[in-house]
Structure 1
Amino acid sequence: MSNRLTKQDWVAHGFEVLKTEGHGGLKADRMVKALKVSRGSFYWHFKDIDDFETCILEAWRTDITEAVIAELKTLPDGTEQIRELIQRVLTIPQGLEAAIRLWSGQSEKVARAVAEVDRLRIDYLTNVLEGLGLPPGVARPRAAILAWAYIGRSLSPAFADGVTEHAARDLSFALTTPEIARKDSAP
C-alpha cells in the first residue's frame, strides 16, 4: 500500500483484520505497523479507535448490505433476487460477517449495528416475498429464517462443500412459492 492511505483503505484493512484476527486486531499501533505508515495516517482520518470502528460498521452496512440489496433489486423479479441471494450466501465465504457477529458479543455498539443490519435484511426479504404473493404473516417468518440461515452459514463455513446452484434453486422455490404458504397457513 502507498504511504498515503485513504479512509477507505483503512476501512478495507480493518475488514481484513477482522476476518483474519478478529476485533482484537483493531489496534491502531498494530495496523500502522502492518501497513508501514505513521500513526498520523490513522489519526488523519479517525479521531480514535472508536471512530474507526464506527466507520467499519457503517461501511459494512452501506458497502455490503445496502449495496447487495441494491444490486439484487436490479434483477428481473423477486424469485430471481432470492435465488441469487441464496446462491451467494451458500457459495461465497462469509468471514467478515462471522467476525462482526462474534465481535457483537463483546460490544453493545456492534450489537446495535448488527441488529440494524438484520432489520434491513429482513425488511428487504419480507418485501420481496410479499411481492411474490406471500401474506405478511408468512413472508416475515420466511425472511427471518433466510436471514438466520445466512448467519448460520457465516459461522459454519466448513459445511459449504457440495452446495450447487440446483440446491439454491430448490431452497429459493421452497421459500418463494405462495402455494406452500397457503398450506402452511391452513388451520
Structure 2
Amino acid sequence: MGATRTPRGKWIEEGLRALAAGGPEAVRVEVLAQALGVSKGGFYGYFRNRGVLLDEMLDTWEYEVTESVIEQVESGGGDARTKLERLFAIVAASADGPVRGPTADIAIRDWARRDPAVAERLRRVDNRRMEYLRSLFSSFCPDEDEVEVRCLLTVTVRIGNHFHAADNGKRSHAEVMELIRQRLLA
C-alpha cells in the first residue's frame, strides 16, 4: 500500500501559519514539511516551487476572507442588519483561524509594504470588503458619508482590534465591542 499524501490544502494552511508567525521569509519548504511531519518531496507533487505556494496561499486567503465569508453571510438570508450581525459573528469566530484570523491579515499587510503584487492583492481584498459593507449599510443608512464612515470603522476595528492593548475604562473589551456593534447597526 502506498503512502498517504499530505493534502495540498494542508501545505497552504501551514504556509499561512508560517507567514503569520514570521512573514514570507518563514515560508520555507523544509520548515513546512517538518511542521506537517512529512518529507519535503510531497511538496513538489503539488507545487512547482515556493513561489507557486506563496501565490496559492494568497489565493486561498483572498477567497476565504472575501467571497467565502460573503457566501456564508448571504446564505443565511435576512435583512441587511441581520446579515451584518452574521458577518460580525463569523469574523469573531474566525479570530484564531490560520486563514481568516487577524494574524494572517496582519502578516499580509506587512508583506504588502514590501511587495507591490501583494499590495495590489490586498487593495483588491480591502475594496471587496468595503464594497460588500457599503451594500449592507446603505440599505438602512441613507447618508452616503455615514455609510462610508461605518464601513471604514468596521474594517478598521477588525484589523486594529488585534493591536489594541489599552484598558477600556470601566468596561470590558467585550462590552466595548458590543457598544461598537450597536452603534454600527443603529
Q: How many residues align?
A: 174
Which consecutive residues of structure 2, in runs of 5 or more, have no partner in the other structure? 97-101
Which consecutive residues of structure 1, in runs of 5 or more, have no partner in the other structure? 178-187
Structure 1 stretches of at least 4 aligned residues deviating more than 3 Å after TM superposition: 83-91, 157-161, 166-169
Partner of residue 163, structure 1: 173
Partner of residue 62, structure 2: 61
1:123-148 Cα distance to aligned partner (Å, 9 max, x none): 01000001123333331232122212
Q: Distance in 2 between matches of 1:84 and 1:160?
A: 27
Using structure 2 for the length normalisation, give the TM-score.
Answer: 0.78
Q: Distance in 1 between matches of 2:122 and 2:114?
A: 12
Partner of residue 99, structure 2: none
SS at match of 1:8: helix
Shift of 1:104: 1.6
Shift of 1:3: 5.2
Q: Which of residues 126, 145, 149 is equivalent to 1:141? A: 149
Amino acid at match of 1:68: V
Counting helix residues as a fraction of each chain, which structure ranks higher?
1
Using structure 1 for the length normalisation, give the TM-score.
Answer: 0.78
Q: Distance in 2 between matches of 1:51 and 1:114?
A: 18
Q: Residues 88, 130 of structure 1: CA spacing in aligned structure 2 closer, same or farther, 3 A cutoff?
A: same
Shift of 1:75: 4.8
Q: Which has the higher contact order (CA 8 A, sep 6+)?
A: 1
Q: Residues 160, 88 of structure 1: CA spacing in aligned structure 2 closer, same or farther, 3 A cutoff?
A: farther
Contact 1:72–1:84, Cα closer than 8 Å, also in 2: yes
Q: Distance in 2 between matches of 1:38 and 1:17?
A: 17
1:47-95 Cα distance to aligned partner (Å, 9 max, x none): 2211111111111111233212222222522223323444555673422
Say which is worse superposed, 10-19 or 74-83, in terms of deviation: 74-83
Identity of aligned residues (%): 22
Q: Residue 111 in 1 paired to residue 112 in 2?
A: no
Amino acid at match of 1:163: H
